[in-house]
Amino acid sequence: MECDTLIIGAGIMGLSTAYHMKKRVPSKKILVIDKYAGPGQGNSAKSEGGFRNIFTSETNYLLADTSIDFFFHMENELGYNLKMESIGYLWLFSEEQYEKIRPAVEGLKDRGVELEVYTREEIEVKVPTLMTDFGDDEEAELLGLKNVDYGVFGKKCGSLDADALVRAYEAEFLKLGGEVKYNTEATELIVKPEMELGIPGEPFVWQEKVIAGAKTSDGEILADTTVVACGVWANQLMDPVGLDSFQRPKKRQLFAFKEPKLDPVMRTVGLNHENALPLMVLPTAGIFLKAELTEGSIWLGCADTIPRKFELEEDPQAEDDYYTNNIYHALVMYFGEFEDVRPMNSWAGQYSINSFDETPVIYGENGVIYVGCGSGSGIMKGDAIGRVADALWAGEAEAELHGGMKLPVANIGVKNRAVEREEFVI
Ligand SMILES: Cc1cc2nc3c(=O)[nH]c(=O)nc-3n(C[C@H](O)[C@H](O)[C@H](O)COP(=O)(O)OP(=O)(O)OC[C@H]3O[C@@H](n4cnc5c(N)ncnc54)[C@H](O)[C@@H]3O)c2cc1C
């Protein structure tokens, strides 16, 4: 089989890239393959679907802010029900934590990001069920729980249905005549000499080499350009040919709760139209939770770092005791309503982390374009990521993001990388 461009991976990154490429040059034969049976079945559909434009790095801000605008366009003008809910992000800090990020928050304000900084007293009115001050509580001290002194509330933030988003990109790509092939696993990238001599043993060290497609479970697919958009699995294809993906996989678990006892937690005052729990990040242990309005539940996760190992897992599962023996003890101190409440559902996926600057990596080399390192926020930056990959493919120095902002492609590449370190990471 032959095509102009082979895209390996039908997650948000692969499908957004495919759509933008096909839109630019409809005559090109662009084929997306995935080892699973449908789009987004890797990590995209397992995502929490949170979106926010509160990023301290200018690059991350641009990637997310313009993508969010495009998702609203997809919902409002193109008619896809992405379940966009502008419930906001409320990031909570102790006094000490806030002092450290105060300059970054000032920077966000200067940039014109729509946000509010709330004091403890204001948060107590807006989130009546939240415990903000542990006083001399010995248990809280033992657990190392931080008081809530400040909250940074991002308004152009909220929640969407990641599965619906991925399917919307697939639908737009197919409408343009793009092709997808599921249940097709790439097993190896094909390396060829740029000028074949027909001698056994090619390519030799002195020959220029190109990646010319991939061997797959359904035969060889030759392509002028091969896009590796395999998320956490990228190393399986790239390591054997000496290409670097700059990412490592780390498990992330989500727990869903639906329980009348938690109704008061779901309700907040004056933060959003629905008066619903925004996506809230607690000041301790990277615990975050949000109202999932589509099912009237609360989704909760925890961005643990050490000692959560880097490890690729084909089918990661949520750990039973992780919630009960771990998160629960801290959570119930902030929200007493969680006492004795157990999750009705749980699942796990993996972040594809570039821990150097927590920003996507997109670069091209020897016929390959690598699109990866979602670093826990690949959904919300998904549209811009596809546009940057497309601009690289087309040989453009700058990508035009939705709304007309320009981003130098090299900035999120490797050799001339120019991104700022991110302070707001979950
Ligand atoms: C629990 C959890 C919560 C998250 N919450 C958020 C959030 O709130 N907001 C946000 O923006 N991001 C979130 N993320 C991160 C987000 O899901 C990822 O950044 C994003 O999905 C990455 O997209 P991707 O296309 O790179 O990877 P994937 O969606 O994993 O796609 C890669 C695809 O490649 C395919 N593939 C791999 N190897 C091969 C092969 N050899 N041959 C063929 N196909 C192959 C896989 O099957 C897969 O479909 C979350 C992630 C997790 C796990």
Report the distance separating Cα 351 and Cα 3, nearest Å. 30
For the sheet with 345-353, list strands across it: 115-119, 150-154, 89-93, 279-281, 287-292, 297-302, 248-257, 345-353
Ligand 1 atom 25 nearest Cα: 11
Other Cβ atoms less than 10 A from the Cβ of 126: the count is: 19
Q: Return all residues near 7 (Cβ < 8 A) that are at least 6 apart.
A: 14, 17, 18, 30, 31, 32, 33, 227, 229
Report the distance separating Cα 376 and Cα 248, nearest Å. 12
Q: What does the mean pLDDT of the chain come to?
A: 96
Three-class secondary structure of residue 343 per DSSP: coil
CA of 91 to the centre of ligand 1 (A): 24
Report the distance separating Cα 309 and Cα 324, nearest Å. 20
Homologous superfamily of 89-155+249-350 in CATH?
D-Amino Acid Oxidase, subunit A, domain 2 (3.30.9.10)
Three-class secondary structure of residue 255 per DSSP: strand
- pLDDT score of 191 more than 90: yes
CA of 405 to the centre of ligand 1 (A): 26
What is the DSSP secondary structure assignment for residue 85, as one 8-state letter? B
Nearest to 372 by CA among 352, 357, 390, 393: 352
Q: Which residues line ligand 1 (CB under 6 A)?
A: 8-14, 33-36, 40-44, 46-50, 185-186, 229-231, 233, 236-237, 252, 254, 349-352, 372, 374, 376-380
Tens digits of residue pLDDT in 61-72: 999 999 999 999
- pLDDT score of 107 more than 90: yes
Determine the distance from the C-alpha atom of residue 122 to the mean position of all C-alpha atoms in its chain, rounded to a whole number: 31
Report the distance separating Cα 325 and Cα 146, nearest Å. 19
Report the distance separating Cα 195 and Cα 380, nearest Å. 41
Q: Return all residues near 159 (Cβ < 8 A) that are at least 6 apart.
A: 48, 49, 50, 51, 83, 84, 85, 87, 279, 290, 291, 292, 293
Ligand 1 atom 50 nearest Cα: 47
Other Cβ atoms less than 10 A from the Cβ of 217: the count is: 11
| Between 425 and 404, the higher pLDDT residue | 404
Helix axes 58-76, 382-393, angle to 10 degrees: 100
Q: What is the fold of 2-75+162-247+356-412?
A: FAD/NAD(P)-binding domain (3.50.50)
Q: What's the pLDDT score for residue 426?
A: 81
CA of 65 to the centre of ligand 1 (A): 20
Tens digits of residue pLDDT in 146-188: 999 999 999 999 999 999 999 999 999 999 999 999 999 999 9
Question: Which of the four pLDDT bands, split at 50, 70 and 90, describes residue 425?
Answer: confident
- Domain positions in the chain: 2-75+162-247+356-412, 89-155+249-350
Report the distance separating Cα 156 and Cα 159, nearest Å. 10
Amino acid (one-letter) located at 18: A
Nearest to 247 by CA among 336, 152, 357, 132: 357
Question: Which of the four pLDDT bands, split at 50, 70 and 90, describes residue 121?
Answer: very high
- pLDDT score of 132 more than 90: yes
Q: What's the pLDDT score for residue 133?
A: 98
State the closest ligand 1 atom to the C-alpha of 254, by its place in the atom list counted from 1: 1
Please compute the mean of the pLDDT values over residues 142-149 and round it to a whole number.
97
Choice from 19, 33, 48 to test ligand 1 binding pocket (greatest atom count within 8 A of CB): 48
H/E stretch holding 191 reads strand 186-193
Report the distance separating Cα 300 and Cα 348, nearest Å. 12
State the closest ligand 1 atom to the C-alpha of 380, by its place in the atom list counted from 1: 11
Tens digits of residue pLDDT in 260-299: 999 999 999 999 999 999 999 999 989 999 999 999 999 9
- pLDDT score of 421 more than 90: no
Q: What's the pLDDT score for residue 285?
A: 87
State the closest ligand 1 atom to the C-alpha of 216, by its place in the atom list counted from 1: 42
Same fold, 2-75+162-247+356-412 and 89-155+249-350: no
